Amino acid sequence: MLIHFFFIVLGVALVTYGAKFLVEGASSLAKRFDVSDMVIGLTVVSFGTSAPEMIVSVLAAANGTPEVAIGNVIGSNTANICLILGLTAILQPLRIRYNTIWKDIPFSFVGIIVALFMAGDLWLDQSSIAVITRSEGLVLLCFFAIYMYYVINLARKGTGAGIVTEEVKHKPLWLAIGMVVAGLAGLVYGGKFMVDAAIAIARGFGISEAIIGLTLVAVGTSVPELATSIVAALKGRGDMAIGNVVGSNIFNIFFILGTSATVAPLPIGNITLVDFGVCIAATLLMFIAGFVMKPNIMYRPKGWVLLGFYVVYLGWLVSQAA
């Protein structure tokens, strides 16, 4: 059983560095075509930090383990807010931009509500099985297209949603292409290691794949967001740290869940109403934090509230697995 945990750690390392190489290589290639740093940040970097979730969820869907795919998306969104944003705010108070509070966070809230309705066959229609179908996956991708139109317009106006990067540096063409290839390889093989190991751990301990997806896999694939947010906060770029989390959550629901459901319909299985509810509550907490008790600042007490909320949720998951 220890070997499977080793493969989880190895998979996390591969997808983390794979995403880093992919972002740096692709950004350098985009720069060669005179794409602005803002547009690169809003597209290439956003895709890159969400690439681990993307690869893991799509592979899980293709391999017939939909609970890992859905659990990874819902669990990652909850971890992004409560664990990553909570820890980052504890380390360094973060300033929240107006657009983030009143546009980006509400859009991410709409995303999780839409996903809840799509997964709500058991609760809303009293159906015997709940499935996110291919057609619903395509609807999610349409929402994603609307979001991309919004962020590209922000870039054209010279404003940002917090999902920006430092100035992109030119790299030799051979190195940029090599980094893209190496990054993709790391993502694919790392994702495969994580999915296979997660399934083996779930079966070995006799617990549901949903819980593994909501915990081990979700936290593992959120490592790039954690690293990016902490580095941004320590450099005084709190808007980037929060924008990274919110942007990643929007990508996770609309693009990753949409793509995964398009690859293969996703039965909900053991993903519960509580799991969706916790993600919704976390998003609401993030929104409320933007205008109460030192408005527009995510400071340490708010970070501790988010982190404490996540610990309680993990405790509930452990009790369900026992």
- 69-107: pLDDT as tens digits: 999 999 999 999 999 999 999 988 888 887 788 888 999
Q: State the total domains in the chain.
A: 1
What pLDDT does 70 receive?
Answer: 93
Average pLDDT, integer, range 214-219: 87
Distance in angstroms (rounded) separating the CA atoms of residues 35 and 42:
11
% of the chain surpassing 90 pLDDT: 32
Supply the pTM of this predicted model: 0.85
C-alpha torsion sign, points 202, 208, 210, 212: negative
**Helices 238-250 & 66-79 angle (0-180, nearest 10):** 160
Contact 129, 121 (CB under 8 A): yes
CATH number at 6 reads: 1.20.1420.30
**Which residue segment(s) compose the domain that 139 sits in?**
2-321
Model confidence at 117, pLDDT cuts 50, 70, 90, reads: very high
Both tokens of 166, joined, read 């430092």
Contact yes or no for 79/67 (Cβ under 8 A):
no
Residue 31 tokens, joined? 């720069």
CB neighbours (10 Å) of residue 268? 24
Q: What is the pLDDT of residues 154-210, one digit of tens each?
A: 766 655 544 444 556 678 888 888 988 888 888 888 888 888 888 888 878 888 888
- Please give the DSSP secondary-structure letter assigned to residue 167: P
